[in-house]
Structure 1
Amino acid sequence: MNKPSPLDQIRQAALYALSAAESLLPEWLPGGTRKGREWVAPNIARDDQKAGSFGVSLDSGRWNDFADNSAHGGDLVSLLAYLNGCRQLDAAKEIDERLRLGLFDLTASDAQQLQECRRQAEQERTASALRAQQAQEEKNLAAAHQASQLWKMAKPADPQHTYLRTKGVQPYLLRQLSRGRLLVPLCDDGRLVNLQTITPDGGKRFLSGGRVHGCYSPLGKVSEGCRLYVCEGWATGATLHLNTGSPVVCAMNAGNLKPVAVAMRQRYGATLDLVIAGDDDRKTNGNPGNRAANQAARATDARVVFPEWPTDAPSDLSDFNDLYLWLTGQSKESRKA
């Protein structure tokens, strides 16, 4: 029997790698996530800071970096060669050893070379991760500085602001810039680190590079042993604060509920009466608001509450602000009724 050519061995390694893609890709591209039939991750070969532009097909092994026209390939051998900066033959040997396929007759010299390649690749991955972390920290600091400057420039928000009137809430600590842009403060341990701007039509955005994960917008004073509500959006938090008198911290989105709840529990301890006030995304597949709220409650030994809808309430209402507007006759739907 003829011995397979190096090209045939590379192709075989690529096929075996594809069958093991869901275990290999998290090792090669840490920090990624599966989205459908694709692994999406930061590109460690170019100090990428977040997932989005770099993807690998779990069905074909094809990979592509939309931010770099030169970075693309048709299988997982070429991907590993790209990430490690080595020949495809060496990448195939690495896969062969990792999966114990026995495609190659690896000599002691081959084993030593592979070990050195792995060491160099790991060093580069570590250095790349450190550079990305430093770059992100610099962006965080710049955004925090910008937030501080904008906060100082702004004036107290107008209670008659279109967005506030639409939501039926007072401005509390919000401030306002020109063209009616509201400023919602995001804090970490009481320090301003970011801002969410809200336009009169309800458009929302955070400062570029600013922190959101684990940060929150406070309403009212939190003290040891008090009842504290954790919710998603600011208008929901303002509604809860208005109707309960209790302090509220707004996590700004469902995915941030758990990090914020954990931070509150760690800061104020077991005596804090922590209540997760979740959104009820009834019309969204999987009800992400409900799921995230329950996850946050389980992680922090907290209670969880959701809006209790009247039987005639429209099904597209989802949060406590929607419920408040409906009950007080301020929603568009109730005005039509």
Structure 2
Amino acid sequence: MHKPSIPELIRQVAAHALTAAERLVPEWLPDGSHSGREWVARNIARGDRKEGSFGVSLDTGRWNDFADTEAHGGDLVSLLAYLRNCRQLEAAQEIDQRLSLGLLERCEISPEEAARRAEKAEHLRRQSLLRTERAKDQLQARQLRAARQAAELWQMAKPADRQHRYLQAKQVQPFTLRQLSQGRLLVPLCADGRLVNLQTILPTGDKRYLTGGRVQGCYSPLGKITEGCRLYVCEGWATGATLHAHTLSPVVCALSAGNLKAVATAMRERYGDVLDLVIAGDDDRQTLGNPGRNAANRAANAVGARVVFPEWPADAPDTLSDFNDLHLWRSQHREIQS
């Protein structure tokens, strides 16, 4: 019977680690966040102050520090060895113990060495838990500050001007939007019906969120959601305003393609299966991979919803991608014909 070599066992541990990447990587790099299927974080091995230069693929395990050309690897065992500044065997053993794999239990080491490694692994596990809890506390504190700031700004603001440059350009009503000085539109972001953040839209169309505020899973509502109603979930606010005006149905705006699935899931969990959930996706025909269409299909499949996309007339240009684009083009087309 073939006895696996140490390198073979390490590769097996790396393969198991990849299936648990969603759990392990945030434990090792707790101050990070998702960017698609990549975990972006501070490089704790060199004391980064901000996240962004260090990324780990949750699908392949490949990791890379763009600020250090020598810091990169192809699996999660090498990542942990780099972060812990230890040998790959020691990193593999920590993962083996963390996942209760038992692959490396029979490696020939002395009882003293085994005890030392177990003590080290337990120490590192506790440190990781402490970092994770500290990161969660810091994140909640930042989100709470942003939510308080959002409430204050919302109270200070007045109803949005119908003649606002952005609203005129999109040919939509302001609905519940509010406005601050210098033409700053405020788009409310809610979670479980509570205001938690704001998206600010400048007259130029530039958009930004409050620093530290919640975004993932948050939405901007248009209209009243009732039991069993038809509810549209879309990306941008202007798209949502267009859908609400044309269908008279309630709409929640995820404000990005990457947030569609999280918002659709939140709606399904809150209102149940009786909700007629429809994902109104963007059709990014000129973007490689059509991220808008793919994100809409993923969201619909995740929650058992229907999905709709703009139906483009034969003479509509390929630059159009969402329902507001279609609304604007049809409006301009009618003006030309008249």
Aligned to 2:52: 52
Is 1:250 matched with 2:253?
Answer: yes
Instruction: Give 3-state SS (helix, strand or coil) of 2:186's partner.
Output: strand
* RMSD (Å), alpha carbons: 4.0
After TM superposition, the structure 1 = structure 2 runs for residues 147-166 of structure 1, keeping only pairs within 5 Å, are 147-166=150-169
Kindly tell me the number of residue pairs found equivalent between the two proteins: 317
Does the C-alpha gap of structure 1 residues 114 and 281 become closer, same or farther in structure 2, counting only changes over 3 Å?
A: same
Alignment partner of 1:142 out of 138, 141, 145 = 145
Quick one: which amino acid aligns to residue 26 of structure 2? P
Structure 1, 176-185 or 16-25: larger mean CA deviation: 16-25
Q: Answer whether contact 1:44 1:129 (CA < 8 A) is retained.
A: no
Shift of 1:83: 3.4
> Which residue of structure 1 lines up, in the alignment, with residue 86 of structure 2?
88
Distance verdict in 2 for CA 1:166–1:14, change over 3 Å:
farther
Q: Give runs of aligned pairs for residues 35-46 of structure 1, distance below 5 A.
A: 40-43=39-42, 45=44
Distance 1:326 1:308 in 2: 12
The alpha-carbon deviation at position 77 of structure 1 amounts to 8.4
Q: 1:119 to 1:135 in 2, by over 3 A?
A: same
Match of 1:198 in 2: 201
Tell me if structure 1 keeps the 8 A contact 2:231–2:277: yes
Give deviations 1:83-131, integer Å, cap 9, x for gaps.
34xx635x644447859689x8521111111111111111111111111
Contact 2:277–2:305 (Cα < 8 Å) also in 1: yes
Does residue 318 (structure 1) correspond to residue 321 (structure 2)? The answer is yes
Under a length normalisation based on structure 1, what TM-score does the superposition of the two structures give? 0.79
Cα deviations across residues 217-265 of structure 1 (Å, max 9, x unaligned)?
0101110011111100000000000101111010111111111111111
Structure having the higher Rg: 1
**Aligned equivalents of 1:165, 1:200: Cα separation in 2:** 10
* Offset at residue 82 of structure 1 (A): 5.8
The secondary structure found in structure 2 opposite 1:88 is: coil
Q: Does 1:30 align with 2:26?
A: yes
Structure 1: which 4+ aligned runs deviate by more than 2 Å?
12-36, 38-59, 61-66, 72-84, 91-102
Find the aligned partners of 1:114 and 1:198 in 2 and give their Cα distance: 54
Same amino acid, percent of matched pairs? 54
Contact 2:159–2:176 (CA under 8 A) maintained in structure 1:
yes
Q: Verify the 8 A CA contact 1:44 1:128 in the aligned structure 2.
A: no
Task: Return the alpha-carbon distance in structure 2 between the equivalents of residues 133 and 177 of structure 1.
Answer: 32
Within 5 Å, give how 1:211-250 maps onto structure 2: 211-250=214-253
**CA contact 1:40–1:51 (8 Å) conserved in 2:** no
What whole-Å deviation, never above 9, does each CA across 1:3-23 have from its counterpart, x for those lacking one? xxxxxxxxx989996997676
Q: Could you list the runs of 5+ residues in structure 2 that have no partner in the other structure? A: 97-101
How far 1:42 sits from its partner (Å)? 2.9
Task: Name the CA distance, whole Å, in 2 between partners of 1:159 and 1:297.
Answer: 33
- How does 1:321-332 map onto structure 2 within 5 Å? 321-329=324-332
CA distance in 1, matches of 2:133, 2:6: 31
Runs (5+) with no aligned partner, structure 1: 1-11
Partners of 2:39 and 2:300 lie apart in 1 by 29
Aligned-partner Cα distance in 1 for 2:108–2:220: 61
Q: Using the alignment, how far apart are the partners of 1:109 and 1:305 within structure 2?
A: 63
Match among 251, 260, 264 for residue 261 of structure 1: 264
Cα distance 1:158–1:130, how it changes in 2: closer, same or farther (>3 A)?
same
Confirm whether residue 208 of structure 1 aligns to residue 211 of structure 2: yes
Does the CA-based 8 Å contact 1:221-1:247 persist in structure 2? Answer: yes
Quote the residue 2:99 is aligned against: none
For residue 198 of structure 2, give the secondary structure of its aligned residue in structure 1: strand
Residue 180 of structure 2 is matched in structure 1 by 177
**Residue pair 1:13, 1:77 contacting (<8 A) in 2 also:** no
Alignment match, 2:120: 117
Rounded Cα–Cα distance in structure 2 between residues aligned with 1:35 and 1:221: 32
Report Cα offsets for 1:48-93 as digits up to 9, x if no partner. 899523246999x986485xx9xx8577988645634xx635x644
